[in-house]
Structure 1
Amino acid sequence: MDIKQIQDLIRFVSKSGVNEVSLEQKDFKITIKTNQAPTIVNATIPAIQPAAAPVAAAPVSVDAPTPAIADTSHYVTIKSPMIGTFYHSPTPDKPVFVNVGDEIQAGTVVCIIEAMKLFNEIESEVSGRIVKILVQNASPVEYDQPLFLVEPV
């Protein structure tokens, strides 16, 4: 199973509404669990050398407190569904998808994440107002990393 297949599986699980999926093959095992809030991915990847220990991958969460927004508990976080490079606009000469203060609907494209030469449009799953953009343009992002804070309507 390659990284693209794993990313597709993660996307499928997050959109399907199931709480847990386990897949075990001859040389590896992957379990994806969702709780409607954070998504937890546990993967054991086969070692390159037979004597080496397996490597476990875990999601990376970046929560940087900001003085402008003290209490973020009532905001919804739009998170990265994959590892890649974050872009605010479709091309450098085009306007950004969303700015702070913009009203968005569920299904609105909020950014693009480039992964393995593929440009993936990231859509909002909630309607509301963009309160904060948590990532700089053209910066790398991790799976499940917060990208936007949205005040739901």
Structure 2
Amino acid sequence: MSKLNVDMKALAQMAALLNEAGLTEIEWEEGDVKVRLGKQAPQMVTAAQVAAPVAAPAAPLPAAASDAAAAGPDMKGTPVTSPMVGTAYLSPEPGAAAFVKVGDTVTVGQTLLIVEAMKTMNPVPSPVAGRVAAILVENEQPVEFEQTLIVIE
């Protein structure tokens, strides 16, 4: 068996990138060296594995969660989805006003929010002109690829 010469600093950087980006696997290839790092996704816990909780009064839903409930199958409009896994930011910087709010009229190409991935800020433009019907994420919320973020009517 041949000795593999691996740059441990590069491996550590890849592992950090794996965690920062919320990925479960990352692969890198250079010449005849191919490295794949991965981690297991969190295990789902089924109801059979957990004792039934004591009933408690339901807490009110946060604004984004109630918008999500309203964005059921009968919600009309164009969904705006996340182009990547990352963190959603509803304003250009902390303390600034949000790019848009429910009820605002938007134009094609107008920035609706930002998705940050690997320390890069990626504006998410409106694909259509219309009115913001729902904002389905909170500021600084982690988002998944193709997750619906906003609905435009």
TM-score band by shorter chain is 0.5 to 0.7
Residues 118 and 104 of structure 1: is their aligned pair in 2 closer, same or farther, counting only changes over 3 Å? same
Alpha-carbon distance between aligned partners in 1 of 2:136 and 2:128, rounded to the nearest angstrom: 17
Aligned runs of 1:1-150 on 2, under 5 Å?
A: 48=36, 66-67=69-70, 71-72=74-75, 74-150=76-152
Task: Report the AA paired with residue 71 of structure 1.
Answer: D
Alpha-carbon distance between aligned partners in 1 of 2:81 and 2:70, rounded to the nearest angstrom: 21
Alpha-carbon shift at residue 69 of structure 1 (Å): 6.3
State TM-score, norm by structure 2: 0.54
Alpha-carbon distance between aligned partners in 2 of 1:68 and 1:77, rounded to the nearest angstrom: 10
C-alpha offsets along residues 77-127 of structure 1, whole Å, 9 cap, x if unaligned? 000011110000011121100000000000100001110001111111110
Alpha-carbon distance between aligned partners in 1 of 2:113 and 2:68, rounded to the nearest angstrom: 22
Higher Cα Rg, which structure: 2
Q: In proportion to residue count, which structure has more helix?
A: 2
Contact 2:108 2:128 in 1 (8 A): yes
Higher relative contact order (CA 8 A, sep 6+): 2
State TM-score, norm by structure 1: 0.54
Alpha-carbon distance between aligned partners in 2 of 1:67 and 1:147, rounded to the nearest angstrom: 13
Alpha-carbon shift at residue 48 of structure 1 (Å): 3.8
Residues 104 and 84 of structure 1: is their aligned pair in 2 closer, same or farther, counting only changes over 3 Å? same
Q: Which runs of 5+ in 1 are unaligned?
A: 4-26, 28-45, 50-63
Q: In proportion to residue count, which structure has more strand?
A: 1
Q: Which runs of 5+ in 2 are unaligned?
A: 1-13, 18-28, 38-66
Alpha-carbon distance between aligned partners in 2 of 1:94 and 1:108, rounded to the nearest angstrom: 17
Task: Report the AA paired with residue 66 of structure 1.
Answer: A
Calculate the aligned-residue CA RMSD, in Å.
2.8
